Amino acid sequence: MLAVSTLVFFMIRLVPGDPIAAMLADSGSPEAREALIRRLGLDQPLLVQFWKWFTGVLQGDFGASIYGSNQPVANILMTALPKTLSLAFLSFVIAIVIAVPAGIISATRKNSAADVGVSLFAFLGLSMPDFWLAIILIIIFAANLQWLPAIGYTPLAEGLWPWLSHLILPSIAIGTGFSAIIARMIRSSMLEVLQADYMRTAAAKGLTQHAMLIRHALPNALIPVVTVIGIAFALLISGAVVVENVFSIKGLGRVLIQGIQNRDYPVVQGAVLLVSAFFVLSNLVVDLLYAAIDPRIRYS
Amino acid sequence: MSDLTVNPANATVADAPKRKNRFRAVFARDRKAQFGLIVLGLFTLGAILAPFLSPYDPNEMTLNMMSGPSGENVLGTDDLGRDLFSRILWGTQISLFVGVATVGLALVLGVLLGVLAGYYGGWIDMIIMRYIDLQWAFPNFIIAVYLVAVFGTGLLNVIVAIALAFLDDFARIARSMVLTLKEEQFIDAARVQGYSDLRIMLRHILPNAMAPVIVQATVSVSYAILAEASLSFLGLGVNPVTPTWGLILSDGRSFISRAWWLGVFPGLAIMLVVLSINFIGDALRDALDVRETDV
């Protein structure tokens, strides 16, 4: 994370274009410019700036936005985070709910119509841009059927349904591609597991098909899948960045893109850092989960 | 050499005819791959012939605004009266070009880094892999967004940004292939003959390491096209005048409740191309016998 934050800090100093000029578009007297540069600490050496920023980040202080109302970046990120987390969580749930049964069905009925259907769905899911799916969902469910709101976000505190109704469409948009990857993984690892000797033993013991699948095949088939879920988290985060912008949800993705448009260094730095922290953390959780479901793996 | 022909990933030049047959066999069997080849071929042709096929100037504004698909405008017009079909057709050029150019760049740079790291090991390996690991801490798309923010928008910047974001996959694959191949006897043989490192890397290691790289490249083209579309959609793309698929969607987004075609067709084009590439990639994976876990 140290290297990550260093990279994030120095990269953005290369940004061509002058945020000061942008901020002072109308009232650009040289004195005002000087004062602003001094207030933001941009007159100090780069290393000093970095040190200040870095020690600040360690204490949860990401500096203040240099655009608009100069809010602390930490505040902006903290109001955005729950939205992105809600979205990621729901997308994940939707993906699993679709992928696990789809994967099992296509593995147990290999080459059947259902299998072909699942495989086609997986290909489509992988190939569909998530923001396009988002637009299609808006056209159908918000614009025409008017079942669900097209934009915005309501916190969970204001009730389950208002929260859910705003998040269902974006979550489907993000979760579909994610579920396609997982479904394919489950299918192939399930097929491998079904060939294993212990499955023959289980069948010989006279277990029912159902018990065999749920108790013996699924847990083993899920082991390689869990690792892929870690990688696919990247997809989920990228999806959130784009899809939040379609649904005007002011989550981390929207904050990031607006920050870039406004050349708001501190906000962009903070958002990228938080996104990658989230990514690294989720991969760590996946590793731990891996050890939990596979007793053969031990971290010392 | 006979044991080397078992795994086509290790196939040598002498196996080329065999490999060709295998390609033919896989593609003759695989309906999805055929679909992919045809659709991608059509789009490629459309991109090349866009100046001749396009019924209207893609940027010409008319008073015939937001009219639905009709005989005059096959896919309808947008809010400025521009012909949607012409815009999508021209957009094909950008999408395919960005996809191929990006992956070409990422492949060359990534494979170079991977081969250097794998072949020399030691501190070179350490430095390169530290960097690659660092890239791992970010989702690829976030890297691309961040780099475009740093470099600014524009065709070249978008290509470089996406290429740099995808480079780590190629480096990692190339490195692991080199590490396996390095132990092979034919490399020792080449070394004993006194060939230079460069020659061994280019002539002996690289050709044998290409199978998984090619499969990864195909997959990456589809990712790159999606990434470019997403960047354009977010306003971080090529530039606001050039019609790209992501931009057309982003422009049309505000009007989708009245003009569904603006939301549907550009995305359909993206999906068809990406789907075709994925189909072809899958068939290549079969033909080259690369396991999914390798890539």
In this prediction the ipTM stands at 0.78
* Test the B interface: residue of A116, A223, A260 with most B CBs within 10 Å: A260
d(CA A137, CA A26) in angstroms, rounded, equals 41
Tally of structural domains, chain B: 1
Tally of structural domains, chain A: 1
Whether the full predicted model's pTM is greater than 0.90, yes or no, is no
* B274 assigned to some structural domain: yes
Q: Does B267 touch chain A (CB under 8 A)?
A: yes
* Test the A interface: residue of B142, B268, B276 with most A CBs within 10 Å: B142
* A185 assigned to some structural domain: yes
d(CA A235, CA A247) in angstroms, rounded, equals 18
* CATH value at residue B240: 1.10.3720.10
Distances (CA, A) of B229 to B82, B131, B215, B220, B262: 20, 27, 22, 14, 15
What is the least distance, in Å, from the CA of B25 to any CA of chain A?
20
**Which among B165, B265, B176 has a CA at the least distance from the CA of B223?**
B165
> How many helices, marked H, and strands, marked E, lie in chain B?
12, 0
What is the least distance, in Å, from the CA of A145 to any CA of chain B?
11
Could you report the per-residue pLDDT of B34-80, keeping only the tens digit for each? 888 998 999 888 888 888 877 777 777 777 777 777 777 777 787 77
Residue A43 phi/psi, 5-degree rounding, is -85, -5
* A154 assigned to some structural domain: yes
d(CA A270, CA A67) in angstroms, rounded, equals 14
Confidence at residue B10, expressed as pLDDT on a 0 to 100 scale: 46
Q: Across A237-241, A267-271, B87-91, B151-155, which has the greatest mean pLDDT?
A: B87-91
* B104 assigned to some structural domain: yes
* B122 assigned to some structural domain: yes
* B67 assigned to some structural domain: no
* A204 assigned to some structural domain: yes
If you count residue pairs, one on A and one on B, with CB atoms under 8 Å apart, how many are there?
127
Q: Is the pLDDT of residue B103 over 90?
A: yes
Confidence at residue A191, expressed as pLDDT on a 0 to 100 scale: 81
* B137 assigned to some structural domain: yes
* B71 assigned to some structural domain: no
* CATH value at residue A284: 1.10.3720.10
* B190 assigned to some structural domain: yes
* A20 assigned to some structural domain: no
Q: Which domain holds residue B222?
A: 17-56+92-288
- Asked if the Cβ–Cβ distance from B152 to A17 is below 8 Å, we say yes
Instruction: Name the residue of chain B whose CA is nearest to A245's CA.
Output: B234
* A188 assigned to some structural domain: yes
Instruction: Name the residue of chain B whose CA is nearest to A254's CA.
Output: B234
Q: Which domain holds residue A270?
A: 73-298
Task: Please report the DSSP string for B150-185 in residue order.
Answer: HH-SSHHHHHHHHHHHHHHHHHHHHHHHHHHHHTSH
Could you report the per-residue pLDDT of A184-224, keeping only the tens digit for each? 888 888 888 777 777 777 777 777 777 777 777 777 777 77
* B160 assigned to some structural domain: yes
Angle between helices B245-252 and A130-137 (to 10 degrees): 30
